Amino acid sequence: MALIRVAEGATIDGFTVGKRLHQGGMGSLWSVSKDGEPGPLLMKCPVFNEGDDVSAIVGFEVEQSILPRLSGPHVPRFVAQGDFSRLPYIVMEHVQGRSLAEWSGTAPVPCEEVAYLGALVARALQELHRQKVVHLDLKPANVIVRNTGQAALLDFGLSRHEELPDLLAEESDVPMGTGAYISPEQIVSDRNEPRSDIYSLGVILYELVTGKLPFGSPQRRSGMLKRFWRDPVPPRRLRKDCPEWLQEIILRCLEIEPEDRYASGSQLAFALQHPDQVAITARGRRLEQDGVVTTFRRWARSQTLQKKLRPPVTQHVSSAPIVMAAVDLSHGVDTLAETLRVHARRALDADPSARLACVTVLKTSLMSIDQDTDARGNSTYVQRLVELKDWARPVAGDDDRVSYHVLEAVDPAAALIEYAHHNQVDHMVVGARASSALRRYLGSVSAKVVAEAPCTVTVVRAHA
């Protein structure tokens, strides 16, 4: 192969090469610019040296095939790529912001900040999984928090696209990933599991909270395998002010079986954004690692590990929906609220991994600052929350997949849409009242929700 050399000042396919930003074993990064292309831009070039790890080159090809298929703020914008036979390169957006490595470098980080950052990354993972890609090398250095407050994921060299051949499938017999963050199933060469990314995010959260890595930083397969039987020291033992809900979330992400982790990025983000809704189990309360007997049992079981066949990437994502029931309780539990409850239950029954968020809006007026508490001092907010739980009780029981949210807003429709957007809701069930002249004039909540919500919407009507 006759390769063109990349150097400062060179022009390659119309891109003017600026400073070299990074030179590593896998390749180099250059700042580039081009007329008409909004910048700043980055050119990534692989290294080809005799005796190099061939998987570095394959990784570059994997990124070349995946990045052009991705879109949105959670990934760098793809700009161009160079032909492999002449000069292989990828030009992409140079994402501006702060690397998550800056936070992990100064860990421990305040717990509220960990939850905030974790939710950003979890939302980015949801977007990535929706686009049929599992990252498989999630670590602080591969996450940038944009100045706009969104997380962008970098480096897709080890990623897996559901619709493309897995060029890395037969590439190597050693686990591919980063020893500290790699999931158990990746160690045994399963590359089709989106919840592997949830696991890696769990390691990141653990690191941010405690300043320590839960399984150290093993380089060899034998060292990585330990996480199959040795559970990490509970974060609350290392950090007294770590709340139970945060430990519950972190240790759930770090479950060995993917089935026991959060089913999707949006469900994890949901938990991190609503600590009061996290059902705390023994996992969240414990202060000690498991004893010798449990550990030995897990070790014994791990000796017969089989590579399991798993369904495709997007199947997980679409089958772990967040369903939102938006109920209007300003008239108490009327026929419409009852009908809505039936439909909410159906949505929950359709899928065991679904979550139901019951949401109601407490309409506030801009003038009524002092009317939040009634004569007996009960906040109307608490009263509405009680009513919401009472409404849901016949279908929800003590199902821990159900959560409750009272939004206070001037414009109910806007609040519901914002909630659906912020929580990556997949399906909203909302009631519609009968038509009237006034409603036509003012516009109905359900009509606005249908027009603007970022998800599937079911409109429920009570039979007249």
Partner 1 sequence: MRIALFADIHGNREAFEACLADARRRGAERQGFLGDIVGYGADPAWCVDTVSRACEHGAFALLGNHDAAVGTPTESMNAAATRAIEWTRGQLDTAQAAFLAGLPLERVEGDALFVHANGWAPKDWGYVRSAVDAERSLRSTTQRMTFCGHTHVPVLYHMAPLRPPAEHVPVPNRNIPLSLSRRWLAVLGSVGQPRDGNPAACYGLLETSPWDLTFVRVPYDTAAAAEKIRKAGLPESLATRLQRGL
Active site residues: 137
Tell the smallest beta-carbon distance from residue 283 to partner 1 (Å). Answer: 38
Tell the smallest beta-carbon distance from residue 75 to partner 1 (Å). Answer: 18
Q: Which residues bind partner 1 (CB under 8 A)?
A: 54, 57-58, 61, 64-65, 83-85, 162-167, 169-171
Tell the smallest beta-carbon distance from residue 315 to partner 1 (Å). Answer: 13
Tell the smallest beta-carbon distance from residue 120 to partner 1 (Å). Answer: 30
Q: Which of 187, 235, 193 is nearest to 214 (CA)?
A: 235
Q: Which of 458, 383, 451 is nearest to 427 (CA)?
A: 458
In angstroms, the CA 243 to CA 249 distance is: 10
CB closer to partner 1 out of 156 and 215? 156
Tell the smallest beta-carbon distance from residue 85 to partner 1 (Å). Answer: 5
Q: Which of 349, 270, 322, 273 is nearest to 426 (CA)?
A: 322
CB closer to partner 1 out of 13 and 162? 162
CB closer to partner 1 out of 167 and 238? 167
CB closer to partner 1 out of 21 and 169? 169
Q: Which of 97, 104, 103, 94 is nearest to 43 (CA)?
A: 94
CB closer to partner 1 out of 78 and 245? 78
**Residue 378 buriedness (CB in 10 A; 0-12 / 13-18 / 19+):** exposed
Residue 233 DSSP class: P
CB 198 within 8 A of CB 268: yes
Give the long-range contacts of residues 253-256, CB within 8 A, separation 24 or more. 253/198, 253/199, 253/201, 253/202, 253/203, 253/205, 254/199, 254/202, 254/203, 254/206, 254/214, 255/199, 256/184, 256/227, 256/228, 256/298
Taking every pair of Cα atoms in the chain, the longest distance, rounded to a whole number of angstroms, is 83
